[in-house]
Amino acid sequence: MTEQLSEIQVSSTELFQGQLLRACRDEVRLPNGAVVMREYVVHPGAVMVIPLLENAHGQIELVLERQFRYPMGRVMIEFPAGKLDARESCFDCAVRELREETGYTAAQWAHAGTLNPLIAYSTEFIDIWFARHLTLGQRQLDDEEFLEVFTVVPDTFFAMCQNGEITDGKTLVAALWLQNMQSGLWSLDWMSC
């Protein structure tokens, strides 16, 4: 079945190499023999962290961020996330991004799954991690990074996903994992660090 749908690379050209983005244009052969163009962004991959914070009453709160996202032209609500550095593992990246962006370190981590945010024109994957037993330290934002950290209880978070306050795709996928993790339908393997 895969073979009947597959597209085969004929040639590949770099469209541009920007400061942030790299894009390619490839000629590909379709299953019917025709040759067409495919243009896409080349991305090293990323991670997203779903941080579970116990408040003073022993209830779970979620650590979220507000960040201005220029392509959207507005402030977006999202879970901590970031790109992999060269030769960095997804887990190391998750630990680093959580610490840099929120100041938290986690005693326990669990891998959930992976998502591909834009399969039509980006190679990006986002690896999804849960973090719990958090300790607050110092944030280490880049000079050019501006974001606010806040917490909400899961019920409020799910309401924001329903009413359109949250539209970031990766954060909505995190809601799917969180909901099924909380209900016990989807289990996680927690590891201590």
Binding to a copy of itself, residues 52-111 (CB under 8 A): 66-72, 74-76, 78
For a copy of itself, the closer CB: 134 or 166: 166
Contact status: 2 vs a copy of itself (CB under 8 A): yes
Query: Helix 154-163 to helix 169-183 angle, to the nearest 10 degrees?
Result: 140
Contact status: 32 vs a copy of itself (CB under 8 A): yes
Contact status: 121 vs a copy of itself (CB under 8 A): yes
Whole-angstrom CA distances from 68 to 75, 158, 173 are: 4, 21, 20
Say how far apart CA 97 and CA 103 lie, in whole Å: 9
**The binder of a copy of itself chosen from 55, 162, 182, 193 (CB under 8 A):** 162
Contact status: 34 vs a copy of itself (CB under 8 A): yes
* Interface stretch with a copy of itself, choices 55-63, 95-103, 112-120, 133-141 (CB under 8 A): 112-120
For a copy of itself, the closer CB: 23 or 152: 23
Contact status: 39 vs a copy of itself (CB under 8 A): yes
**Phi/psi-derived region of residue 164, left when phi > 0, alpha when psi is between -120 and 50, beta in every other case:** left
CB 191 to a copy of itself: min, Å: 19
Contact status: 31 vs a copy of itself (CB under 8 A): yes
* Interface stretch with a copy of itself, choices 84-92, 96-104, 132-140, 171-179 (CB under 8 A): 171-179
